[in-house]
Structure 1
Amino acid sequence: MSDFFLQALTEVGSPAVMGLIILGVLFGIVGGSIPGFTVTMAILVVFPFTFAMDPISGVSLMVGVFVGGYSGGIVSGVMLGIPGTPSSITTVYDGYPMAQRGEPGRALGIGVMASFLGTLISVAVLVFFGPLIASFSMNFRPWEITALIVFALTLVAGLSNGALLKGLLAAAIGLLITTVGYDRNSNLRFDFDLPALSSGFEMLPVMIGVFAFSQLLGNIEKMRDEGTNGKSVDTNVTIPYRLIMKDMAGQKLNTLRSSLIGSLIGALPGTGGTVANFVSYDQAKKFSRHPEEFGKGTPSGIVASEASNSAVAGGAFVPTLALGIPGDLPMAIMMGVLILHGITPGPMMFEQNPVLVGAIYASLLIGAIAMVLCNLLLVRWFAKISLIPQQILVPVVLMLCAIGAYALNNNVFDIWVLFIFGVIGYLLWKAGVPLTPLILGVVLGNNLERQLFRALELDPNWLTFLTRPLSALFLALAVASVVFSLYQDRKVKRLQQATPSP
Structure 2
Amino acid sequence: MQDMISNLALGFGVAFTVQNLLYAFFGCLIGTLIGVLPGIGPVATIAMLLPSIYGLDATPALIMLAGIYYGAQYGGSTTAILINVPGESSSVVTAIDGYQMARQGRAGAALAAAGLGSFFAGCVGTVIIAAFAPPLTELAFKFGPAEYFSLMVLGLIGAVVLASGSLLKAIAMIIFGLLLAQINTDVISGTARYSFGIPELTDGINFVAIAMGIFGFGEIIANLGQPAENREVFTKEVKGLWPTMQDFREAWPSVLRGTALGSILGVLPGGGALLASFASYTMEKKLTRNPRKEFGKGAIQGVAGPESANNAGAQTSFIPMLTLGIPPNAVMALMVGAMTIKGIQPGPQVMTGNPELFWGLIASMWIGNAMLVILNLPLIGIWIKLLMVPYKFLFPAITLFCCIGTYTLNNNSFDVFMTAGCAVLGYIFFKLSCEPAPLLLGFILGPMMEENLRRALLLSRGDWTTFVTRGLSAGLLLAALAMVVIVMLPSIKKKREVAFQDAD
Range of TM-score over shorter length: over 0.9
Matching of residues 137-156 of structure 1 within 5 Å: 137-156=140-159
Question: Residue 351 of structure 2 corresponds to which residue in structure 1?
Answer: 350
User: In structure 1, how many angstroms separate the alpha carbons of the residues matched to 2:9 and 2:193?
Assistant: 47
Distance 1:448-1:257 versus aligned 2 partners, 3 A rule: same
Question: Residue 443 of structure 2 corresponds to which residue in structure 1?
Answer: 442
Question: Residue 173 of structure 1 corresponds to which residue in structure 2?
Answer: 176
Give 1:11's aligned amino acid: V
Q: Aligned with 1:91: secondary structure?
A: helix
Residue 284 of structure 1, CA deviation: 1.9
Q: Aligned with 1:433: secondary structure?
A: coil
Give 1:126's aligned amino acid: I
Residue 477 of structure 1, CA deviation: 2.4
Distance 1:492-1:299 versus aligned 2 partners, 3 A rule: closer
- Whether the 8 Å CA contact 2:163–2:270 is kept in 1: the answer is no
Distance 1:392-1:317 versus aligned 2 partners, 3 A rule: same
User: In structure 1, how many angstroms separate the alpha carbons of the residues matched to 2:344 and 2:275?
Assistant: 29
Residue 176 of structure 1, CA deviation: 1.4
CA deviation vs aligned residue, 1:280-317 (integer Å, no higher than 9, x gap): 11222222122562221122111101111111122101
Give 2:98's aligned amino acid: G
Give 2:331's aligned amino acid: P
The farther-off stretch of 472-481 and 178-187 is 472-481
Question: Residue 500 of structure 1 corresponds to which residue in structure 2?
Answer: none
Matching of residues 247-326 of structure 1 within 5 Å: 247-248=247-248, 250-291=250-291, 293-326=294-327
The farther-off stretch of 383-392 and 174-183 is 383-392
Give 1:40's aligned amino acid: V
Residue 246 of structure 1, CA deviation: 6.1
Q: Aligned with 2:109: secondary structure?
A: helix
User: In structure 2, how many angstroms separate the alpha carbons of the residues matched to 1:382 and 1:259?
Assistant: 26
- Whether the 8 Å CA contact 1:90–1:278 is kept in 2: the answer is yes
> Is 2:83 the counterpart of 1:84?
no
Question: Residue 103 of structure 1 corresponds to which residue in structure 2?
Answer: 106
User: In structure 1, how many angstroms separate the alpha carbons of the residues matched to 2:173 and 2:317?
Assistant: 22
Residue 489 of structure 1, CA deviation: 9.2
2:478 to 476, 479, 486: 476
User: In structure 2, how many angstroms separate the alpha carbons of the residues matched to 1:398 and 1:473?
Assistant: 46
> Is 2:221 the counterpart of 1:217?
yes
Residue 11 of structure 1, CA deviation: 2.1
User: In structure 1, how many angstroms separate the alpha carbons of the residues matched to 2:109 and 2:229?
Assistant: 32
User: In structure 2, how many angstroms separate the alpha carbons of the residues matched to 1:229 and 1:201?
Assistant: 33
User: In structure 1, how many angstroms separate the alpha carbons of the residues matched to 2:76 and 2:87?
Assistant: 4
Q: Output the TM-score relative to the length of structure 2.
A: 0.92
Give 1:197's aligned amino acid: L
The farther-off stretch of 396-405 and 482-491 is 482-491
The farther-off stretch of 58-67 and 39-48 is 39-48
Question: Residue 194 of structure 1 corresponds to which residue in structure 2?
Answer: 198
CA deviation vs aligned residue, 1:209-230 (integer Å, no higher than 9, x gap): 122221222112223xx75685
Residue 239 of structure 1, CA deviation: 4.3
User: In structure 1, how many angstroms separate the alpha carbons of the residues matched to 2:214 and 2:175?
Assistant: 14
- Whether the 8 Å CA contact 2:165–2:435 is kept in 1: the answer is no
1:461 to 460, 463, 470: 463
Residue 245 of structure 1, CA deviation: 6.7
Residue 163 of structure 1, CA deviation: 2.0
The farther-off stretch of 48-57 and 390-399 is 390-399
- Whether the 8 Å CA contact 2:262–2:276 is kept in 1: the answer is yes
Distance 1:252-1:490 versus aligned 2 partners, 3 A rule: closer
Residue 117 of structure 1, CA deviation: 0.8
- Whether the 8 Å CA contact 1:164–1:486 is kept in 2: the answer is no
- Whether the 8 Å CA contact 1:335–1:345 is kept in 2: the answer is yes
User: In structure 2, how many angstroms separate the alpha carbons of the residues matched to 1:183 and 1:153?
Assistant: 22
Number of matched pairs: 492
Give 1:437's aligned amino acid: P
Q: Aligned with 1:485: secondary structure?
A: helix
The farther-off stretch of 459-468 and 35-44 is 35-44
Q: Output the TM-score relative to the length of structure 1.
A: 0.93
- Whether the 8 Å CA contact 1:48–1:405 is kept in 2: the answer is yes
Residue 270 of structure 1, CA deviation: 0.9
Give 2:183's aligned amino acid: V
Distance 1:422-1:489 versus aligned 2 partners, 3 A rule: farther
Q: Aligned with 2:379: secondary structure?
A: helix
Give 2:416's aligned amino acid: I
Question: Residue 126 of structure 1 corresponds to which residue in structure 2?
Answer: 129
CA deviation vs aligned residue, 1:187-210 (integer Å, no higher than 9, x gap): 111111111111111111111112
Give 1:387's aligned amino acid: M
Residue 231 of structure 1, CA deviation: 4.9
- Whether the 8 Å CA contact 2:213–2:419 is kept in 1: the answer is yes
- Whether the 8 Å CA contact 2:325–2:347 is kept in 1: the answer is yes
2:65 to 56, 62, 65: 62
Q: Aligned with 2:226: secondary structure?
A: helix
Residue 400 of structure 1, CA deviation: 2.7
CA deviation vs aligned residue, 1:42-66 (integer Å, no higher than 9, x gap): 2223322221111111011112111
Q: Aligned with 1:233: secondary structure?
A: coil
> Is 2:37 the counterpart of 1:28?
no
Provide structure 2 residue ranges, at least 5 long, that are not aligned to the other structure.
Answer: 499-504
Question: Residue 428 of structure 2 corresponds to which residue in structure 1?
Answer: 427
Distance 1:491-1:262 versus aligned 2 partners, 3 A rule: closer
Distance 1:402-1:486 versus aligned 2 partners, 3 A rule: farther
1:159 to 150, 159, 162: 162
Give 1:400's aligned amino acid: F
User: In structure 1, how many angstroms separate the alpha carbons of the residues matched to 2:31 and 2:299?
Assistant: 26
Question: Residue 502 of structure 2 corresponds to which residue in structure 1?
Answer: none
Give 1:35's aligned amino acid: P
Distance 1:197-1:290 versus aligned 2 partners, 3 A rule: same
User: In structure 2, how many angstroms separate the alpha carbons of the residues matched to 1:231 and 1:57?
Assistant: 35
User: In structure 2, how many angstroms separate the alpha carbons of the residues matched to 1:103 and 1:182?
Assistant: 59
Question: Residue 486 of structure 1 corresponds to which residue in structure 2?
Answer: 488
User: In structure 2, how many angstroms separate the alpha carbons of the residues matched to 1:116 and 1:45?
Assistant: 27
Give 2:96's aligned amino acid: Y
User: In structure 2, how many angstroms separate the alpha carbons of the residues matched to 1:49 and 1:230?
Assistant: 29
Provide structure 1 residue ranges, at least 5 long, that are not aligned to the other structure.
Answer: 497-502
- Whether the 8 Å CA contact 1:34–1:387 is kept in 2: the answer is no
User: In structure 2, how many angstroms separate the alpha carbons of the residues matched to 1:137 and 1:11?
Assistant: 25
- Whether the 8 Å CA contact 2:45–2:216 is kept in 1: the answer is no
- Whether the 8 Å CA contact 1:37–1:85 is kept in 2: the answer is yes
Distance 1:151-1:229 versus aligned 2 partners, 3 A rule: closer
Residue 438 of structure 1, CA deviation: 0.5
Q: Aligned with 1:139: secondary structure?
A: coil
Give 1:288's aligned amino acid: T
Question: Residue 501 of structure 2 corresponds to which residue in structure 1?
Answer: none
Question: Residue 75 of structure 1 corresponds to which residue in structure 2?
Answer: 78
The farther-off stretch of 275-284 and 245-254 is 245-254
- Whether the 8 Å CA contact 2:140–2:348 is kept in 1: the answer is yes
- Whether the 8 Å CA contact 1:164–1:482 is kept in 2: the answer is no
Question: Residue 499 of structure 1 corresponds to which residue in structure 2?
Answer: none
Q: Identity across aligned pairs (percent)?
A: 32
Q: Aligned with 1:222: secondary structure?
A: coil
Question: Residue 376 of structure 2 corresponds to which residue in structure 1?
Answer: 375
Q: Aligned with 1:237: secondary structure?
A: coil
The farther-off stretch of 480-489 and 348-357 is 480-489
